[in-house]
Amino acid sequence: MSYITVGKENSGTIDLYYEDHGKGRPVVLIHGWPLSSKSWEKQVPALVDAGYRVVTYDRRGFGNSGKPTFGYDYDTLAEDLHRLMTELDLRDATLVGFSMGGGEVARYLGTHGSDRVERAVFISAVPPFLLKTSDNPEGVDGSVFDGVMESIIADRLAFLSGFFLDFYNVDVFGGDLVSDEVVRFSWNVAAAASPRGTLDCVSAWLTDFRNDLASIDVPVQVIHGDADRIVPFPASGKRTHEMLKESRLMVVEGGPHGITWTHAERVNRELLDFLGQRVQAAQTLAGTPV
């Protein structure tokens, strides 16, 4: 198992677990809450088979990574990503952030720039700013997030059971595009996460990424389901696309939050097409027929 050390808490180190597969231009996959890098099961083989180097890692507090009692804000999480990028010396990379992982992508680019990054993908992602405020009327009312935190404190494991029903829109896709076993597996992964990290990450969702998005200078792909019950498309993906001049949008009609599983074929096809645009452009510049 491969780890990088990103910090220390008392006598122990804070280590991030990562996997590094394939050869070619790097694609870094950043998972959502409250899952782990295992949630990219449908994407990793497709990307490796298409000739890409695929790096996945577990956010601190989740999966096989260390579970400290602090560091669940986006400044720290983006710094963790930066440590991974520099430790592995990744260049010309594509950052792909799902849900909460989209926040790492935005804050990383807003803080560290695009020296190592060629393009970015936001899938069911939280930017630009989820919280409803006077200058952000399209956001979600703060009472929703208060309710999530109260439910986690009261009974985290029971909360997760209901959460994943909405994550995959099981009432619509259960038994067809998502099995009971997949929902159970998701629950098992989430149940093993840090209780403290699971709770503290909810506050991080309220981060304002508008300035981060404004600084992005690489091509961006936005992929989002219009029936997302966790991160509503009108408050997130739609606005991210509108804010970024160099972006393209794919809306999965009827798609839930967890489209990387329920609509994996469509997501993978769109992702590979977006990644392939760079190859086609390079061939054209070199005078090679496409």
Q: Enumerate the H helices of 50-141 as residue ranges.
A: 74-87, 101-112
* Tokens read off for 64: 């096989």
Pairing status of strand 117-123 against strand 93-98: parallel
194 belongs to the catalytic site: no
Give the number of domains in the chain. Answer: 1
Position 220 in a domain: yes
Q: Enumerate the H helices of the chain as residue ranges.
A: 44-49, 74-87, 101-112, 142-167, 170-173, 180-191, 195-204, 210-214, 237-243, 259-262, 264-285
257 belongs to the catalytic site: yes
Closest CA to 55 of 115, 107, 123, 4: 4
Q: 58: domain CATH number?
A: 3.40.50.1820
Partner residues linked to 15 by β-bridges:
5
Task: Determine the pLDDT at residue 126.
Answer: 98
Which residue in the list 36, 228, 247, 263 is annotated as catalytic? 228
Q: Is the pTM of this model over 0.85?
A: yes
Q: Which domain holds residue 166?
A: 2-285
User: Mind listing the pLDDT tens digit for each residue in 192-203?
Assistant: 999 999 999 999
Position 134 in a domain: yes
User: Mind listing the pLDDT tens digit for each residue in 5-64?
Assistant: 999 999 999 999 999 999 999 999 999 999 999 999 999 999 999 999 999 999 999 999
What residues have CB less than 8 Å from 273, skipping those under 6 apart? Answer: none
Task: Report how far residue 16's alpha carbon sits from residue 56's, in angstroms, rounded to the nearest whole number.
Answer: 10
Mean pLDDT lowest among 147-151, 250-254, 275-279: 275-279
Position 183 in a domain: yes
Position 101 in a domain: yes
Q: Within 13 Å of residue 44, how many CA atoms lie on the same side as its CB?
A: 17
Which residue in the list 36, 37, 39, 99 is annotated as catalytic? 99
Which residue in the list 31, 224, 241, 257 is annotated as catalytic? 257
Position 290 in a domain: no
Residue 289 vs residue 120, higher pLDDT: 120
Written as one string, the DSSP assignment of 195-237 is: HHHHHHHHHHTT---HHHHHT--S-EEEEEETT-SSS-GGGTH
Closest CA to 167 of 105, 98, 121, 107: 98
User: Mind listing the pLDDT tens digit for each residue in 204-259?
Assistant: 999 999 999 999 999 999 999 999 999 999 999 999 999 998 899 999 999 999 99
